[in-house]
Amino acid sequence: MHQPLSRRSLIGLLAAGAAAPLFAAAPRPAPVTMYRSPTCGCCLNWTPHVERALGRPVVVRDVPDVFAVKARLGVPDDLRSCHTAVVDGLVVEGHVPPADILRTLRARAGIKGIAVPGMPMGSPGMEHGDHRERYQTIAWDARGGRRAVATHN
């Protein structure tokens, strides 16, 4: 028969770290992986926006053929931009605002990826003073369906 622990014994066990597994930290979310051409600089300007908003690091992978990565990940030709990232299995093409990434990760709904085609001025990482272009974030699914998920001015 087991004797109940005295208060003093319980406090000693807690102080010794016996209860640590009960209070283990939540697992950290996986980093964002970004693929880019080593000659493109604006991609690196996008990463701090994502790291701040998503609370996770961006691992930068310089690749000799970023177009091959885009093809492998299924980025439609007309939605391509300068870099491609993967966040929890979601393909993120170009200078997508972090809020759009977060909203899409929460909703998912069959979305394979989201993109900001081209490199619009004023998008995250493409800041240039007060100059801003209107652009959209476009979602696509595995069957080729598309829809705008956000419009930015």
**Domain at 46, CATH number:** 3.40.30
Per-residue pLDDT for 20 more than 80? no
Does residue 122 fall inside a structural domain? Answer: yes
Q: Which domain holds residue 98?
A: 29-152
Higher pLDDT, 28 or 134: 134
Q: Quote the longest CA-to-CA distance of the chain.
A: 77
Give the other-Cβ count within 10 Å of 76's Cβ. 16
Radius of gyration of the chain (CA): 22
Does residue 35 fall inside a structural domain? Answer: yes
Residue 80's closest CA among 43, 117, 37? Answer: 117
pTM of the complete model: 0.82
Give the per-residue pLDDT at 108. 82
Q: Are 149 and 140 spatial neighbours (Cβ–Cβ below 8 Å)?
A: no
Higher pLDDT, 79 or 3: 79
Higher pLDDT, 7 or 139: 139
Does residue 50 fall inside a structural domain? Answer: yes
Helix, strand, coil % in the chain, rounded to nearest 5: 30, 25, 45
CA dist 95 and 89 (Å) reads 17
Does residue 13 fall inside a structural domain? Answer: no
Q: Are 151 and 134 spatial neighbours (Cβ–Cβ below 8 Å)?
A: yes
Higher pLDDT, 120 or 17: 120
Does residue 34 fall inside a structural domain? Answer: yes
Does residue 21 fall inside a structural domain? Answer: no
Q: How many domains does the chain have?
A: 1
Per-residue pLDDT for 46 more than 70? yes
Does residue 89 fall inside a structural domain? Answer: yes
- Residue matched to tokens 């990434």: 101
Per-residue pLDDT for 16 more than 60? no
Does residue 55 fall inside a structural domain? Answer: yes
